[in-house]
């Protein structure tokens, strides 16, 4: 079977996304979508998410990021194309 086209994206999610279980939600969403990468809180109140997957997986995952968990209030998601970090093997929470 041919290997799917892989891409990497970095998302900066803002709104009420810290202290509401957002990163745990992102971990579950990543596993459901087959995404590798990580999520971390930023000092300015945003959550940064790095994700590797094929375009369909990343599109599905971004939709989940925009929804967020029940207690969150996602106001926006800024998306940037990124380079693939081959050292990333699964999905986790950083710092």
Instruction: Tell me the pLDDT tens digit for each residue of 58-93.
Output: 999 999 999 999 999 999 999 999 999 999 999 999
Confidence of residue 95 (pLDDT cuts 50, 70, 90): confident
23 a catalytic residue: yes
CATH number assigned to the domain covering 7-93:
3.30.70.100
Q: Is the pLDDT of residue 4 over 80?
A: no
- For 61, residues 6+ apart whose C-beta sits below 8 A from its C-beta are 29, 30, 33, 35, 51, 53
Q: In the chain, where are the structural domains located?
A: 7-93
Cβ neighbours of 54 (radius 10 Å): 15
5 a catalytic residue: no
CA angle 6, 83, 8 (to 5 degrees): 40
Confidence of residue 2 (pLDDT cuts 50, 70, 90): very low
Token pair for 52: 């590797």
- 8 Å CB contact between 37 and 93: no
Cβ neighbours of 13 (radius 10 Å): 25
Marked catalytic residue, from 23, 66, 70, 75: 23
pLDDT of residue 3: 54
Marked catalytic residue, from 16, 40, 41, 64: 41
């Amino acid at each position: 079977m041919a290997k799917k086209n892989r891409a990497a994206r970095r998302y900066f999610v803002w709104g009420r996304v810290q202290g509401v279980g957002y990163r745990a939600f992102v971990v579950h969403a990543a596993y459901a979508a087959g995404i590798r990468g990580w999520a971390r809180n930023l000092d300015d109140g945003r959550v940064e998410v790095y994700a590797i997957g094929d375009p369909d997986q990343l599109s599905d995952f971004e939709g989940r990021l925009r929804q967020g968990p029940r207690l969150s209030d996602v106001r926006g998601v800024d998306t940037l194309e990124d380079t693939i970090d081959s050292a990333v093997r699964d999905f986790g929470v950083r710092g």
